[in-house]
Structure 1
């Protein structure tokens, strides 16, 4: 499944932030933010602390829950971003930006991840946000598969779980 930049990419950024090791540090965050196209990927310490609290809130979006509850969690995130979407033409094509033009990097990450999760829930389905089904793993993921039935964060976890089930069955 293909998402637009703010839907899929921002939701995948949210999943990567949730999956990042704790405690978050500027050195840990920089490659994650850069990989997802965040222009100002180097953050001061106070912004890292702010994003740590934000990541804890993002984590709830990937947990198994009823649609209404997931929407309430994401609506809370959207409300707390206090951003005002606007149309930008900086690259010649009109597209939406979800953080104010002068916003700091942490505010930008908060706004874009909240909007990305909302986009996925509204246009692809709330069940596209999930946690790995393998017992030894709890990684968050965005299901971009064609049929929307992914249950593992990676092929490796799916294979490891299948091998474990097979071995348990043949004991």
Structure 2
């Protein structure tokens, strides 16, 4: 009986592609092939980003075509990656836009820095975890309902909540 199932199982395993098997996760160092520290020109070319804010020559805010991905560059290099409104993108801790603040707190424990969100009503917060203090981290923005609204990953620019300004 088991031999009859073998061809079906073999067919199913061959039909999976590596891309379908595992989606990239957001870490303090990047998201898939989009890496913190990569040259801005390469990020623009490879990921079809457009400049939204270029107040000076040293800092730019770039967006994907669907505006669910924001990239902040500083001195010609990717500094941070922000996921906006995409619950399908997971962090390396399994969190996503829409996760509860309590889940973020549980995932990081006392290593989390908690500050009030400057642009949303209390009890909205910035929840920041540093993989390497001030060099690489992830910041979760929560809204007044206690849900993650945006996730920022990268260098110190994750804390630049006003963009380049």
TM-score by length of 1: 0.25
Structure showing greater radius of gyration is 2
Q: Which has the higher strand share?
A: 2
* TM-score under structure 2 length normalisation: 0.26
